[in-house]
Amino acid sequence: MTPNLHDAPIGVFDSGLGGLTVAREIMRNLPAERIVYFGDTARVPYGSKSKNIIVRYSRQIVRFLKTQEIKAIVIACNTATALAFDEVANEAGMPVIGVVEPGARVAVQTTRNKNVGVIATRATIHTGAYTNAICSLDPEINVIEQACPMLVPLVEEGWIHDRITDEIIMRYLDDLLAHGIDTLILGCTHYPLLRSAIRKLVGDQVALINPAYETARELERLLSAEHLESTVPIAPGEPYPYRFYVSDDPQKFTDFANSILPVDVKNAKIIPIEEF
Amino acid sequence: MTPNLHDAPIGVFDSGLGGLTVAREIMRNLPAERIVYFGDTARVPYGSKSKNIIVRYSRQIVRFLKTQEIKAIVIACNTATALAFDEVANEAGMPVIGVVEPGARVAVQTTRNKNVGVIATRATIHTGAYTNAICSLDPEINVIEQACPMLVPLVEEGWIHDRITDEIIMRYLDDLLAHGIDTLILGCTHYPLLRSAIRKLVGDQVALINPAYETARELERLLSAEHLESTVPIAPGEPYPYRFYVSDDPQKFTDFANSILPVDVKNAKIIPIEEF
């Protein structure tokens, strides 16, 4: 390994904006790491699409990220992790982590009554990926999954603190709460943006698991285990320690990034992703 | 022109399922016409994306439809009509109609107080296509446009008759009603599926314009003017007078098609649309 590789960026990708919540946790918790982020804004969302399509799109993104001399890949999208993790790992030829395993592991450590709820997109729920990941760690845990297709559009509409959003969240959570869950995995990268609304509705007795945060911690362990940690902290004024690429007009992406990231995102470049 | 061309199918396309409401009106009103329908289910929705992307996707679809020996094209998608009509017409080299002009024309004929409302996707509203089309026919008409990004997800979630949906519709329509509109264009092909909910909320004094129906009538006039009407009625038992193609897993598409079309849709074929 060249010393250079330690200071190479982490490739992070998502179907669009949601994965920025994962990038945010990496920035906060691994401040020496550089990032190349790709958001597939031309083909968003993935959550209602099939495995074949999600695998094809994810592999194209990995091929693009590999042109950026990255040292590891974070699949910052629950749907792509649930449906395409193995194919991404095969294509990547470098360390890859997704958001499902880290979220599942913390849920297993957190639950006391062994009733865990999962909310996610329809595609993620359809795979049963969270149930599989949790039960392989503790087969006694009862996992109740719920697809919540309206939550991403609500976040993208900006109705974060809104009576209608509260009502829709309650409709989705009713059944999970009736099952007595004490732990709830926010299994889509948009959902942490609804965290305070969800907290208000479920009360203090239900632990909310944000896989974005857990994924950043998992990335830290992985880089350490593989001796890939950054050796050169990001210097003030270093050009582009965080680079952003998208597949459609970057304006909405840049606005959203600037509203949630601790850094100023000046521009994002458009990539013709279907050519990769 | 070969006699054959009269009996060639009409190419109809949309970003996904919504354009089936246009196909339905063509089946009902032009029962002798054959149809090849393409729904871009791998890249749906278009309504939140940029002109560049919508033009690129629409041209790929036209290139696919041209392999199907069609005689005319209907852009059964408000967003693609508003953002890519000229580019589609250039690519097609055959008669093309969209859904915006027919809807605008009937709204102009219908309004009495010259206050017309338009609801549509964010991308369609952003172009001002309906305002332009209406004002070019009657510059005295006051057009009030409203983007309604939540309505397509609500329809796709199946919450058609639902208190939450009513509340969201009212939020979007409040301002239009305050302007005293007497005519409302349902400017997205999903919205006619919410027609009864909208009717209940706006009362009998507001005329609802469904561009799908108007587009079928416009297609009839166009075929007649171009001497392209079908000369051979669809025979009972004729194989595949209606053919359906999609870019992702057809199951959801087929289920939806069977719920709204007057014919039985047995299968839809997947096309790798990005190769066109």
Convert the pLDDT of each residue in B176-193 to its tens digit: 999 999 999 999 999 999
pTM, 2 dp: 0.93
- What is the gyration radius of the CA atoms in chain B, in angstroms? 18
Q: What is the pLDDT at residue A149?
A: 96
Residue B135 has pLDDT above 80, yes or no: yes
Cβ count near B150 (within 10 Å): 22
Q: Give the residue ranges of DSSP H helices in B100-162.
A: 100-110, 122-127, 129-137, 151-157
**Bigger pLDDT: A2 or B60?**
B60
Distance, in Å, from the CA atom of A246 to the CA atom of A265, rounded to the nearest integer, reads 13
* Parts of chain A with a pLDDT under 50: 1
Residue B225 has pLDDT above 70, yes or no: yes
In CATH, the architecture of B3-98+213-275 is 3-Layer(aba) Sandwich (3.40)
Phi (first) and psi of residue A18, to 5 degrees: -55, -35
Entry field: residues in chain B: 276
ipTM of predicted assembly, 2 dp: 0.91
Q: Touching check for A149 and chain B: CB below 8 Å?
A: yes
**Residues of B in Cβ contact (< 8 Å) with A174:** none
Residue B1 has pLDDT above 60, yes or no: no
Q: Enumerate residues 6+ apart whose C-beta is below 8 A from B73.
A: B10, B11, B12, B13, B62, B65, B88, B92, B94, B95, B96, B97
Q: Provide the residue ranges of all domains of chain A, joining segments of one domain with +.
A: 3-98+213-275, 100-211
Q: Touching check for B4 and chain A: CB below 8 Å?
A: no
C-beta atoms of B156 and A168 within 8 A: no
- Which pLDDT band, with edges at 50, 70 and 90, does B266 fall under? confident
pLDDT in tens, B139-153: 999 999 999 999 999
Q: What is the pLDDT at residue B4?
A: 76
**Residues of B in Cβ contact (< 8 Å) with A150:** 150, 153-154, 157
Domain B100-211 sits in CATH at: 3.40.50.1860
Q: Touching check for A168 and chain B: CB below 8 Å?
A: yes
Asked if A157 contacts B150 with a C-beta cutoff of 8 angstroms, the reply is yes
Percentage of chain B beyond pLDDT 90 is 92
DSSP state of B234: P
pLDDT in tens, B3-54: 578 899 999 999 999 999 999 999 999 999 999 999 999 999 999 999 999 9
Distance, in Å, from the CA atom of B107 to the CA atom of B117, rounded to the nearest integer, reads 9
Q: What is the pLDDT at residue A6?
A: 87
Mean pLDDT of B233-257: 93
B135 is catalytic: no
Q: What is the pLDDT at residue B267?
A: 86
DSSP string covering A125-176, please?
HHHTHHHHHHHHH-TT-EEEEEE-TTHHHHHHHT-SS-HHHHHHHHHHHHHH
A148 is catalytic: no
DSSP state of B25: H
Asked if B147 contacts B122 with a C-beta cutoff of 8 angstroms, the reply is yes
**Residues of A in Cβ contact (< 8 Å) with B172:** none
Please tell me if the domain spanning B3-98+213-275 has the same topology as the one spanning B100-211.
Answer: yes
Distance, in Å, from the CA atom of A47 to the CA atom of B50, rounded to the nearest integer, reads 20
Distance, in Å, from the CA atom of B69 to the CA atom of B5, rounded to the nearest integer, reads 8
